[in-house]
DNA sequence: GTGAACCTTTACACAACCTTTACATTGCTT
DNA sequence: AAGCAATGTAAAGGTTGTGTAAAGGTTCAC
């Protein structure tokens, strides 16, 4: 999960970045308002940590402009503890507010409170659940992309189809006849080696990330995508 | 929108209930932990305001038990201002925390921050939002204009439609058939190269601002607008 | 009716892709 | 262990889809 930190205190940024990275988040830092706004608009972050006192563009201004196009969750950080700031930020569309100096654990708890909720809701809304994930291999059906953990595999269309079919049927043998008919749209002819070639190419591409073999050959029967270790 | 308030201070309940009702919420109050938990489990509330100090079952216990089955958003209220309580509540799955005594306006702002987010996510896609922004490309749906950061793109009508469709489906493959039908209003004929030309022209115009390619070709399938880095 | 803006078609080059071929290897059967 | 069929895979065609310049149509405003 990717977070953006906008704070001019580079020391704090580094410290928090390290801490949150250890907690499994991916953190990017920028140190002024302009840069921050640009970055926030250009990508999809799970959450933005936004300092109020910033050079070039203050935190409120960044938030205001961000909210014109995006609804990325924002937690505001500030040294001032006054009600006014707090309410102002929340009314502008911030999701939470943490007064500095703060406890790392509290920050983490608040970050989690928000990301947890988002994760939950988006996983509900996507009833068209379009991701398959088995044994480190992830298939994004909508984007027609496949990943080994986070690393994208550059598969051709047919390779993608073959892999997706195997992963969909993980743990079961899929015959070459099935693959040929479902992926290539034709009956498997006696000396047709296409499927073998496609599987070979897929294996080669997966092997670049040196993980153990996932596609097992069932001699005379077909192929199986291996489930579990 | 329906809220549940669990607090043994009946005076405060009444006061807040009145205030929030005036703000367009529907508020139900109960005054002890057992009742509160029962109520929280029996219905779908948009948000629960939960006091920590409660007779019969304290706030943390109510939250803990609630979280075993439900993910209703919770804001905790408490007289104690210590870090420990705050963190403990958040880690148990609270969404926010307000120390008593609090400002009405702040409570409202926090309630809104959470309900707004939920409302937004559950009504993804359509809604009144008239700007789209993905990966440095901004689409102003109302004005039918497209930008690279702040720089306007002078697209033709069809080019705008194609780009808007791709950005709306950012991260998903959009087939030429879909583009043809939705933008040109006709079935895609076998040797129709119009879509290719429109995409080519859009790319050329975006490339003037020398940013990396945003429209990826999925050979044999369609095009994808790239999300994130 | 002329021009401008736009969409579509045509044509060609090229790159990506799928299949075939050929030979090496594996694993089952006897 | 020999024989054989199934499989692995590098390399070489052959095919198809795509990128794009340029030409040809169409629409619309004036």
Binning pLDDT at 50, 70 and 90, where does residue B120 land?
low
Binning pLDDT at 50, 70 and 90, where does residue B47 land?
very high
Q: Phi and psi of A217, rounded to 5°? A: -85, 130
Within residues 174-203 of protein chain A, the ones with CB less than 7 A from nucleic strand C are 184, 189, 191-194, 197-198
In this structure, the answer to whether residues A8 and A91 fall within a common structural domain is: yes
CATH code of the domain covering residue A179: 1.10.10.10
* pLDDT(B58) > 80: yes
In this structure, the answer to whether residues A96 and A12 fall within a common structural domain is: yes
In this structure, the answer to whether residues A8 and A115 fall within a common structural domain is: yes
* pLDDT(A218) > 80: yes
In this structure, the answer to whether residues A185 and A112 fall within a common structural domain is: no
Query: Residue B112: its chain A contacts at CB < 8 A?
Result: 90-91
B193 touches strand D (CB under 7 A): yes
For residue B16, the Cα-to-chain-centroid distance in whole angstroms is 26
A187 CA vs C23 C1’ separation (Å): 26
Binning pLDDT at 50, 70 and 90, where does residue B30 land?
very high
Over the stretch A155-171, which tens digit does the pLDDT of each residue have? 999 999 999 999 999 99
For B136: left if phi > 0, alpha if psi spans -120 to 50, otherwise beta; the answer is left
Q: Decide: B215 and B205 in contact? Cβ < 8 Å.
A: no
| Domain with A142 in it | 128-225
Give the strand pairing for B173-175 and B222-225.
antiparallel
The pTM assigned to this predicted structure is 0.71
CATH code of the domain covering residue B105: 3.40.50.2300
Q: Decide: B97 and B89 in contact? Cβ < 8 Å.
A: yes
Can you give the C-alpha Rg of chain B in angstroms?
25
Instruction: Give the residue-averaged pLDDT of B32-61.
Output: 90
Boundary of a domain, candidates B87, B104, B121: B121
B125 vs B112 pLDDT, higher one: B112
Distance in angstroms (rounded) separating the CA atoms of residues B93 and B75 = 10
A43, A113, A156 ranked by CB distance to B90: nearest: A113
Helix (H, G, I), strand (E, B) or coil at B150: coil
In this structure, the answer to whether residues B30 and B117 fall within a common structural domain is: yes
Give the strand pairing for B96-99 and A222-225.
unpaired
- If one counts the domains in chain B, the total is 2
CB-CB under 8 Å, B114 with A95: yes
Q: Which long-range contacts (CB under 8 A, 24 or more apart) does A161-168 make?
A: A162/A195, A162/A198, A162/A199, A162/A202, A163/A137, A163/A139, A163/A202, A164/A132, A164/A139, A166/A215, A166/A223, A166/A224, A166/A225, A167/A132, A167/A134, A167/A137, A167/A139, A167/A225, A168/A132
Which residues have a Cβ under 8 Å from the Cβ of A27 and sit 6 or more positions away?
A2, A3, A4, A5, A16, A17, A20, A21
Within residues 49-68 of protein chain B, the ones with CB less than 7 A from nucleic strand D are none
- Two tokens, residue A18: 């390290």
Boundary of a domain, candidates B103, B121, B139: B121
B84 touches strand C (CB under 7 A): no
Boundary of a domain, candidates A121, A140, A169: A121
B206 CA vs D21 C1’ separation (Å): 19
Over the stretch A181-216, which tens digit does the pLDDT of each residue have? 999 998 998 889 999 999 999 999 999 987 889 999
Q: Peptide bond preceding A101: is omega within 30 degrees of 0, i.e. cis?
A: yes
CB-CB under 8 Å, B106 with A116: no
In this structure, the answer to whether residues A17 and A101 fall within a common structural domain is: yes
CB-CB under 8 Å, A91 with B109: yes
In this structure, the answer to whether residues B88 and B13 fall within a common structural domain is: yes
Which residues have a Cβ under 8 Å from the Cβ of B168 and sit 6 or more positions away?
B132
B75 CA vs D23 C1’ separation (Å): 67
A42, A116, A157 ranked by CB distance to B136: nearest: A42
Closest A-chain CA to B171: A143
Distance in angstroms (rounded) separating the CA atoms of residues A224 and A20 = 38
In this structure, the answer to whether residues B132 and B209 fall within a common structural domain is: yes
H-helix segments, chain A: 10-22, 33-42, 59-66, 83-92, 104-125, 157-168, 176-179, 194-207
Helix (H, G, I), strand (E, B) or coil at A160: helix
On whether any CB of chain A is under 8 Å from the CB of B165, the answer is no
Chain mean pLDDT for chain A = 86
In this structure, the answer to whether residues A103 and A167 fall within a common structural domain is: no
Can you give the C-alpha Rg of chain A in angstroms?
24
In this structure, the answer to whether residues B71 and B17 fall within a common structural domain is: yes
- Two tokens, residue A217: 């050959």
Over the stretch A127-143, which tens digit does the pLDDT of each residue have? 445 788 898 899 999 88
Which residues have a Cβ under 8 Å from the Cβ of B196 and sit 6 or more positions away?
none
Distance in angstroms (rounded) separating the CA atoms of residues B173 and B176 = 10
Q: Decide: B137 and B214 in contact? Cβ < 8 Å.
A: yes
Burial A58-70 (b: 16+ CB within 10 A, else e): ebbbbbeebeebb
Question: Which of these, B48, B25, B21, B24, lies nearest to B36 by C-alpha position?
Answer: B48
On whether any CB of chain A is under 8 Å from the CB of B83, the answer is yes
pLDDT at position B224 is 95
B170 CA vs D17 C1’ separation (Å): 23
In this structure, the answer to whether residues A9 and A44 fall within a common structural domain is: yes
Query: Residue B138: its chain A contacts at CB < 8 A?
Result: 41, 69
B173 touches strand C (CB under 7 A): no
Within residues 90-149 of protein chain B, the ones with CB less than 7 A from nucleic strand D are none
Instruction: Give the residue-averaged pLDDT of A68-85.
Output: 76
A119 CA vs D28 C1’ separation (Å): 51
In this structure, the answer to whether residues A180 and A79 fall within a common structural domain is: no
Give the closest residue to C21 (Cα–C1′): A193
């Amino acid at each position: 999960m990717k977070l953006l930190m906008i704070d001019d205190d580079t020391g704090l940024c580094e410290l928090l970045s390290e801490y949150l990275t250890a907690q499994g988040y991916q953190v990017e830092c920028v140190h002024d308002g302009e840069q921050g706004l640009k970055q926030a608009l250009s990508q999809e972050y799970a959450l933005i940590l936004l300092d109020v006192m910033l050079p070039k563009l203050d935190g409120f201004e960044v938030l205001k402009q961000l909210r014109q196009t995006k609804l990325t969750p924002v937690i505001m950080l500030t040294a001032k503890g006054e009600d006014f700031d707090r309410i102002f930020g929340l009314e502008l569309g911030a999701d939470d507010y943490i007064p500095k100096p703060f406890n790392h654990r509290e920050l983490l708890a608040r970050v989690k409170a928000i990301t947890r909720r988002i994760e939950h809701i988006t996983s509900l809304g996507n009833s068209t659940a379009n991701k398959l994930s088995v044994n480190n291999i992830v298939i994004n059906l909508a984007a027609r992309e496949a990943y080994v953990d986070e690393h994208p595999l550059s598969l051709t269309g047919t390779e993608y189809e073959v892999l997706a079919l195997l992963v969909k049927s993980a743990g079961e043998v899929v015959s070459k006849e099935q693959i040929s008919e479902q992926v290539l749209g034709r009956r498997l002819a006696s000396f047709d080696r296409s499927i073998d070639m496609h599987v070979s190419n897929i294996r080669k591409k997966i092997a670049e990330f040196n993980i153990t073999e996932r596609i097992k050959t069932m001699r005379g029967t077909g192929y199986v995508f291996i489930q579990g270790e």
